[in-house]
Structure 1
Amino acid sequence: MEQLTTGCGTKRDRQASGPGVLADSAAYDMTSGEIARARGFVRQFLSDARSTHGLDVPSRTLDIAQLVVSELATNVCKYAPGPCLLDLEVDGDMLGITMWDSGSVLPTALQADPTRAGQHGLEIVLAVCQSFEVRREPVGKRVRVQVSLLEGPHGDPAGPTPW
């Protein structure tokens, strides 16, 4: 497991991990105010991918990525407050979003219930991502999702969505 940076806010380490791969990470001491900072980190990362690296990042993908990070970060605030790592990686036509937190309880989606107020975050994440994985770590867990950078003919994400 990577060493945790315990400071608040973001720690920029933009790097190319290989041909066509762009990655960056941020560390947060997760409180509700940090959720907006995490969304801003995603927005800046994808904006830089567009302007500096010439990647085609559809506006829809930018919105979806911010929504996903917001939902994942909200879960950290509610169920595993404390340190959190956010890793972003563009590899080919996919954006990988990985969030580590110190909580040991794995997230599970609840049965669909339109009368339930709240607790729809994981349902939303599953609906907009191409993949979803949760992995236990020696301390806590990692949630990894992938979002397509491609758009279909009707503005929907290109490629299969298993959900």
Structure 2
Amino acid sequence: MATVSTEGTGIRHLELWLDGARGAVTEARLATQNFAAAVGCSGETENDLSLVVSELVTNACRHAPGPCRMRLEADDESVTVEVWDSVSCLPNFPTASCTEPDICDHTSLRCGGYGLQIVASLCRELKGLLGDDGKTVRAILAY
């Protein structure tokens, strides 16, 4: 269920709980497109935001059992995307030295897949936060 709230500060929020089943990514993407239009994102920013959401929600649904939560927050300069899931293990974020994604070898240190590389190239910040009940991946896009 999506909830959108607006505070007097000019910051707009969307929170969406997803069951992790088939169709969750589509639901997240549609909610993101509606949010982007409501907060006045340009077409390019809306496309980038949809791609970031699709990748992060896909990763949460693919690698974690059960539900996940997506939060969007927009201010006058950026949109923050946060995707929480129940697994307390951070993804392998791309680094400056990463030139080729390694999408098959889960036993060695690796750069991650193409998706997180694309997300990193679109965002001014991409990081993971561990909590007692799982992790949150946060991406911030300027617009």
Smaller-chain TM-score bracket: 0.7 to 0.9
2:131 is matched with 137
2:84 is matched with 100
| Percentage of pairs with the same residue | 32
Pairwise CA distance, 1:103: 1.0
For the 8 Å contact 1:29–1:82, the answer to whether it is kept is: yes
1:81 is matched with 65
1:113 is matched with 100
Pairwise CA distance, 1:28: 0.3
Moved more, 75-84 or 11-20: 11-20
Superposition TM-score, scaled by structure 2 size = 0.84
Pairwise CA distance, 1:132: 1.3
Residues paired across the two proteins, number: 133
Residue 41 of structure 1, aligned match among 24, 31, 34: 31
Q: Which runs of 5+ in 1 are unaligned?
A: 1-10, 51-56, 150-163
Aligned partner letter, 1:29: D
1:27-75, Cα deviation, whole Å (9 max, x unpaired): 001123211111101001111223xxxxxx1111000000001110111
**In 1: Cα distance, 2:39 partner to 2:122 partner:** 21
Q: Does 1:70 align with 2:54?
A: yes
For the 8 Å contact 2:57–2:70, the answer to whether it is kept is: no
Pairwise CA distance, 1:91: 1.3
**In 2: Cα distance, 1:32 partner to 1:134 partner:** 24
Distance 1:148 1:106, change over 3 A: same
Pairwise CA distance, 1:114: 6.8
2:18 is matched with 28
Secondary structure of 1:106's counterpart equals coil
1:70-108, Cα deviation, whole Å (9 max, x unpaired): 110111122113110100111121001111000111011
